[in-house]
């Protein structure tokens, strides 16, 4: 499959999963989970969903259990929203490296959307 299409599907899945988990899920165990990246296999059969979990160990375990129990619901909602021929199986994984870079990622997303936090002024020459 086309790698560009795979990246587009992965990014759209990340956006939809973030919205589903944060705003549309009734499970309180997963409300603190933040989806940082989705990596879709080239054959579109599996998708690794990288998430930032809460800091406390017991909350992490509960959050992963909540994600596993909500996997069917999330996949069904993605099927309705993305209209793909084949919806990948979701595998949730902790993205430990992103825990420290989450604020940087948020700033980069703001810049990509065209709303930088502050105008840095002219570039030095």
- pTM here is 0.71
Q: How many domains does the chain have?
A: 1
- Domain span at residue 9? 3-110
Does some domain include residue 50?
yes
Does some domain include residue 65?
yes
Please give, one letter per residue, the 3-state secondary structure of the chain.
CCHHHHHHHHHHHHHHHHHHHHHHCCCHHHCCCEEEEEEECCCCCEEEEEEECCCCHHHHHHHHHHHHHCHHHHHHHHHHHHCCCCCCEEEEEECCCHHHHHHHHHHHHHHHHCCCCCCCCCCCC
Q: What is the CATH number of the domain that holds 46?
A: 3.30.300.20
Does some domain include residue 67?
yes
Tens digit of pLDDT for each residue in 54-85? Answer: 888 898 899 999 999 999 999 999 999 998 88
Residues of the chain with confidence (pLDDT) below 70: 1, 97-105, 114-125
């Amino acid at each position: 499959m086309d790698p560009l299409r795979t990246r587009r599907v992965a990014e759209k899945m990340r956006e939809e999963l973030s919205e589903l988990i944060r705003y549309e899920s009734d499970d309180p165990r997963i409300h603190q989970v933040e989806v940082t990246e989705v990596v879709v296999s080239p054959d579109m059969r599996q998708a690794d969903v990288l998430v930032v979990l809460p800091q406390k160990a017991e909350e992490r375990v509960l959050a992963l259990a909540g994600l596993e129990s909500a996997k069917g619901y999330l996949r069904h909602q993605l099927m309705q929203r993305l209209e793909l021929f084949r919806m990948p199986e979701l595998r949730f994984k902790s993205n430990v490296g992103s825990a420290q870079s989450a604020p940087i990622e948020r700033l980069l997303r703001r810049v990509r959307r065209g709303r930088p936090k502050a105008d840095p002024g002219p570039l030095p020459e």
